[in-house]
A and B are shown apart, each in its own frame.
Chain A
Amino acid sequence: MDPIVEQLKILGRRQFLKNTSLGFGATALSTLMNPGLIGTANAGVNSHIAQRIAPKAKRIIYMFMAGGPSHIDTFDFHPEMRALHGQELPDSVRQGQRITGMTSKQSTFPVVAPMFDFQRHGKHGTWVSELLPHTAGIVDDITIVKSMHTEAVNHDPAITFINTGQQAPGKPSLGAWLSYGLGSLNENMPGYVVMISRGKGNLQALYSRLWGSGFLPAEHQGVKLRSSGDPVLYLANPEGISRKDRRMMLDGLSKLNQSHFDSFGDPQTQSRIAQYEMAYRMQTEAPEILDFSDEPESTFALYGEDARKPGTFAANCLRARRLAENGVRFIQLYHRGWDQHNSLPKQIRGQTMDIDQAAAGLVKDLKQRGMLDETLVVWGGEFGRTIYSQGKLTASNHGRDHHGRCFSLWMAGGGVKPGFEFGKTDIHSYNILEDPMHIRDLNATMLHTLGVDHERLTFPYQGLDQRLTGVEPARVMHEILS
């Protein structure tokens, strides 16, 4: 990377620190002369460059439904579908587009209308599936985008695309870009955390690249929080070592490091001292944030009883709210099991049961705490599913294959319109008729809500000012912003 550009970034950081009251210590400041020495709690190397738009949101909570939830059975309903049930998908709809190797050999492509009831909800009569009664209850708070689309139709490239902005491995994830650009708001906590839960449906793989830092420094990679054992890897002192013991040893360590600094003068040594102190504070702060014992009963009524069980999606939602309250910039939840190639009616019921109440509960909770305006909440997967049945369509059973040409997601808070639907698909929920929104547009829009211009959040790598949205055009979807 260009040394001068680096220096500039340092200066940018310095400038930023002057203008904020993050209470950064003198020690940490001294390390600013030496880039890449700052711990997870930094002010974001690029902040004053990138953040030029007045931010609506301070943070993002992204509920990622891994495997490709069916848009047809959740949000993208057309009453006309009922009449098409069982009929062959017309070629005029499919237009010869490629379909995955899993169904390309099928001799028929019968249309399957959702095997669930749909009702209109909220002020604007938004269709929501019976699978999502709680989400139906918050339609007036969210924007449902029905015109998401992606070029990828298989899991690995598709999930890599939507999490990192490119289908092939190697790029930083959205959260890493945010950590790099905006830094953390709590110096004792990582700025980017990831939590994983699993449903009973077909589990597709996840990969550490999905929350990785790509070519950005490793300090920007997502920290995976765990539901059992140490919430953060290696957080707990070894057995037999009390907090007092640890403090005493760290005092000795600090003294020795300080005397080393006195004779060698390397600011990195001081950064190291600060780093150990942060680690020490994280040891108590992280478990405290994640301890639910101070939550009233009403919390569990809101998120559901599942929230008491560590490792569930509901528990992760509650953790997300607590982390958001404590300055974590980007919280990504993964819920696995949405890949319904077969037995879709049964499996999707299980999956939606896992997430519906908690996802809606999180939005309500943020709202009642006055945090929704400053938190962008996103719900969605890597692609949608086909209108036609994968495998045999019976009276009560069928599957759906992957579909990237349109899918649905919803967003709430953080400057996104409440009670809004965006984008329109054809009656087969197959092609987009109006307002297409590509993954790149989604990324540009999410960054915009945080006050970041996606064209300015860049990192020089391999001769190019790399960015999350890549080199293809990307547009901030102002239509969905309030």
Chain B
Amino acid sequence: MLVKTAREAIIYCWQRKKGVGINRVRGHFLASIVLVVTTWMCVGVTCAADAPDFNTQIRPILSQNCFECHGPDEEGRKGHLRLDSYEGATAVYKGSSAVNPSKLDASELITRITSTDSDEIMPPSDSMHALSKIEVKLLTRWVESGAEYDEHWAFLSPKKKPLPKVSRAHKAWRQNPIDAFVLQSLKAAKLDPMPEASKTALLRRVTFDLTGLPPSLSEIEAFLSDRSRNAYEKVVDRLLASDHYGERMTLAWMDAARYGDSSVMHADGPRMMWPWRDWVIKSYNDNKPFDQFTVEQLAGDLMPEATEDQKLATGFNRNHATSDEGGAFPEELRVEYVVDRVKTTANVWLGLSMECSQCHDHKFDPISNEEYYNFFAFFNNNSDPGMQSRRGNQAPLVKLQSKDRDTQLAQNEVVQADLNKQLKVRRESIGPDAEKWAEVKEADLRSAKTFKAQPAGLQHHIPFYDMLDKKAVELISGIQSKIIAGARSGSWKGNTTLRMRNKDAVDYQGVAAFVEVDKPFTMSAWLKTPVNRVSALFSKVKQGDSDMRGFDIWIDRADIGMNLSSAYPDNTIRVMARKQLKANAWQHVAVTYDGSSKAAGIQIFVDGKAQKFDVEDDSLTGTIQNESPFRIGGRYPNMNFEGEIDDIRLYDRVLSQDEIGAVRADSNGQLAVFTADRPSESQSKFIESSFLKEEDSIYKKMTSDLAAAQKSEAQIKKEFPELSSMIMQDNPDAKMRMTYVLERGLYDSPKTNKVITAAVPSFLPPMPDGAPANRLGLAKWLVRSDHPLTARVTINRYWTLFFGGGIVETVMDFGNQGSMPSHSELLDYLAVDFVESGWDVKRMIRLVVTSQTYRQSSRVTPKALEKDPRNRMLARGTRFRLQGEFIRDNALAVSGLLIPTIGGASVKPYQPLGIWNEVSLSGGLKYPQDKGDKLFRRSMYTYWKRSAPAPNMMIFDAPTREKCVVKRPRTNTPLQALVTLNDMHFVEASRKLSERVMTEGGVSFSDRVDTLYRLCMSRPVTAAELEVCRSVYDQQFASFEKAPESARSYLSTGESSRDEQLDLIEHAAFTVLANMILNLDEVLTRG
């Protein structure tokens, strides 16, 4: 009877897949699976002989087939019938009830599900559902036996049951509570456990599981030679104490926390969240109890006297996708962020998908639409805006100290201050010498063949001749620019230029004030640009609400044009010369205007030649003057210039073509200065500084020292950028945002007739006494010791790291639609134990990996495969492919390339060309690959740009991390083979691996291959394997011997150097061998 019932229980499960009838499933293939699954279904739940078990057998049928119309969702409910509660099912409506316990004839449910009338039958014939005969039988017997309802198992607090007694036959097994439960279920299923895995296999398994890295040769040696009883436990303790343990645990948490280094939506710009990641690594390594880990990440900012670290921890809920898209509706986005935080928090801690109830009552779980917004309210008062930045971190954030940066900058500042002082002294003592020198210089310039008299009317002249104190001087008025933050000096013909990187602009307050609609002018400059973007050369523009006033000279790729606007776009002149600029070449541009208010009064010159241009607008009537600064290399708020600019001049009259030629001929601006009739004060200063720079060796030495110090300052800033990390922070009390139910979940349809307060779903325990109705209260509620979900969900998630799947397979769903636990008593035992231990994560993991269950051999016998193909019963060790990050890290580790530094900023290792450009906004974003050590960091530190993540990781199932993922799918595809065969990471690692083996692994071929095996598989090579290796090596050797140039190019992949001591052909052939080993199933698999 028992087996029959249970088997039927399984069969209904087969039906759960919509639209598939039992008649599709035939033959003994089915029978064998059914038997196996039957057995595990019985474990941990009581398979009553008569009454079907509500939780395992009845609720799933009702949930899948009935709840959509007769479940918790009030609005969607049909026929006034609710089947998810005893009260609902037995309620009398119009004289009958769906379920009349023990009375089949009086139960409408039974009448309907057994009806042959297509108008009567339930589920309706036009629905996607149909009940099988077996399901009908089960429901019938359930009603017959009293129609008992149990609460859903996962919504009741777990209880620790006494450990099952282990039969004598298995006394040899080491005893651990986990083993007791597992053995009990194996016994019921008539399965025998496997013996312990070999020492080498076990060491490799546990080292990967706890650190994500392979064991080293010395670790293998130490373990093999340790004959003590607790040798293995010692290894586990060593691994748990390793800092790599924190990295490994953090990598899994990064998926759940949707960690990324970019903002996801629209521009997908950069952000800095790695300080949060470092916090997670440290927390795991410090073994921070999981309840604290939870409270700090969800509400660290609200803790009394919150520390910087506790605030930093809340970055968990700032990792979500944000947008900066121009036309977007900030409130729509803000609501989306709250929705994401609700989803992620519920997925990760509760194992529930709450998002269904964003629009209506949940169809399957008892979460009403209003309760969703109760939960939403916890996150609805965050102060971060809907429209966020595409350039770095969006407030609120914590600024973090960077000791390295601060110390080094302080030292550098002293050096620079001292040099500046010395330079000043030198400058002040030089006056008369410079005057004499200037006379000689002027005479020289005038006598030169290229001399051309300089035109009159020069109002402004910015030659960027020097940029002391990071400012450039306008030489006629002496006006200094604002500090040029990012702009740097370039160089052209030994002359300083302004170099811009599409980020910065240089502002002068007061320059170009004379420019007006009714006055003539000439403007000129030298420029060099890649002509791949839209930017402004210079401008003086005031941005209004919907219009702009002022002028600019702007560039659209190879086009150059000018706007003179009183109110752009309605009152403006707009002209454009098409395709006149050359890419990355120095060229001179000039524009003249005669003050006529007409486009016809404009001329555009490129390299002295007048250009044809299109008139796009010619409607200027009013003033163009405004109070904005004159801006070089941009037009407010962006249009930033990339390339170099030099020698900007503004004249108050229209220059002739010849005069423009003269200006052009004076490319470094010296003639304008030295031949000025009445030099301005700044011109005189300029002459002095020219003398110093060109003639005074002491001064020259000082300036070059200063330049070096400035360069080193920039280097320090680049290497140690200012640190910050985004955090959660609520609005101040006075600005608290009201929460309302949003009609169909739409941001612009709040039901304002009722204010929704922050609260937890009513089917779960209440908030702890005295807990505030905010995120802090929510976090404390999650870690209540009797919370039915948090500990179970957490244990289950950690379990997947060590067994490849969860005790509950639906790691993200513990609700009515989730799968039943394979070992429910074990799960409950571990959950209670975890809480009782003070949420001690390392202790719990130690318990798992020291269990005999974990330590079994993963050998698969045909019988075992047939009975339990997916190893749900745990009658053997589990085997699964290593995750992508571990596969690359393994290659780096065994080859000796790995830089094992813990934590810090993300890095940009090799990736194929064009991955960013192809998709980026405007298409110009190149991947700035790093060099040196940063190429060889662990893969968890690879810069994660979420619109274009590292392809070699994506191919291995890494999620994009745009959304929370608590369990990765695991696939094997040919594209993966191509990565480990051909990606330069692996080609280079193979080369270094062979180098390492050839230099450290003995002299004979067999010794070397043996070392290779030990490095990659933690075990010695067998004779048969050695023979295969020999043959591959010999053939490859012969092939390379015939084509040594092929050997050389094969060995030239990657930035690391090759050991030239090694024979080229031998090295290349051995590299092929090493690459083959890195591609072995055994190496790619943790078994």
Contact = CB atoms under 8 A, between A and B. Distances in A.
A462 interface: yes
Interface in A443-469: 455-456, 458, 460-465
Interface stretch (A205-213, A312-320, A350-358, A407-415): A205-213
Contacts of A23: none
A213 to B, nearest CB: 8
B860 A190 contact: no
Contacts of B1040: 240
A8 B20 CA distance: 9
B353 interface: yes
Nearest to B1044: A240
Interface in A207-232: 207-209, 212-213, 215-219, 221, 223-224, 226, 228-230, 232
A278 interface: yes
Given A4-B13, A218-B955, A401-B327, A265 B865 contact: yes
Interface string A253-285: 101110111011111110111011011001100
A292 to B, nearest CB: 21
Nearest to B328: A154
A266 B858 contact: yes
B10 interface: yes
B872 interface: yes
B1060 to A, nearest CB: 17
A15 B340 CA distance: 40
Contact of A249 (B912, B947, B1032): B1032
Interface in A138-177: 153-157, 168-170
Contacts of A157: 265
Given A36-B969, A462-B813, A232 B327 contact: no
Contacts of A242: 1039, 1046
Contacts of A249: 1032, 1036, 1072, 1075-1076
A268 B870 contact: no
A267 B865 contact: yes
B570 interface: yes
Contacts of B912: 226, 229-230, 233-234
A417 B352 CA distance: 45
Contact of A154 (B10, B325, B1032): B325
Contacts of A283: 978
A260 B987 contact: no
Interface in B1018-1037: 1024-1025, 1028-1029, 1031-1032, 1035-1036
Nearest to B819: A2
Contacts of A235: 978, 982
Contacts of A213: 969
Interface in B981-997: 981-984, 987
Contacts, number: 334
Contacts of B817: 460, 463-464
Given A4-B16, A229-B912, A39 B973 contact: yes
Contacts of B973: 39-40, 218-219, 275
Given A36-B969, A248-B1032, A248-B1036, A2 B810 contact: yes
Given A49-B19, A156-B266, A456-B128, A208 B1072 contact: no
A223 B947 contact: no
A122 to B, nearest CB: 36
B904 interface: no
A252 B1028 contact: yes
B865 A33 contact: yes
A17 interface: no
A273 to B, nearest CB: 8
B810 A1 contact: yes
Contact of B920 (A100, A205, A236, A268): A205
Nearest to B953: A218
A275 B569 CA distance: 60
Contact of A259 (B10, B881, B974, B1024): B1024
Contacts of B267: 205
A218 B325 contact: no
A22 interface: no
Interface stretch (B134-142, B660-668, B1079-1087): B1079-1087
Contact of B962 (A35, A209, A218, A264): A209
A35 to B, nearest CB: 8
Interface in B317-358: 321, 323, 325-329, 336, 339-340, 347, 353, 356
B488 interface: no
Contacts of A259: 1024-1025
Q: Which 4 A-B pairs have the closest CB atoms?
A: A100-B327, A240-B1050, A463-B817, A392-B569
23 contacts: A1-B819, A35-B870, A37-B971, A49-B18, A156-B265, A205-B920, A209-B962, A218-B956, A226-B914, A233-B951, A234-B983, A237-B981, A239-B1050, A241-B1072, A245-B1072, A251-B1032, A264-B879, A268-B972, A271-B972, A275-B976, A278-B974, A461-B812, A462-B813
Given A37-B971, A38-B972, A279-B978, 6 more contacts: A8-B20, A190-B975, A219-B971, A240-B1045, A279-B981, A455-B128
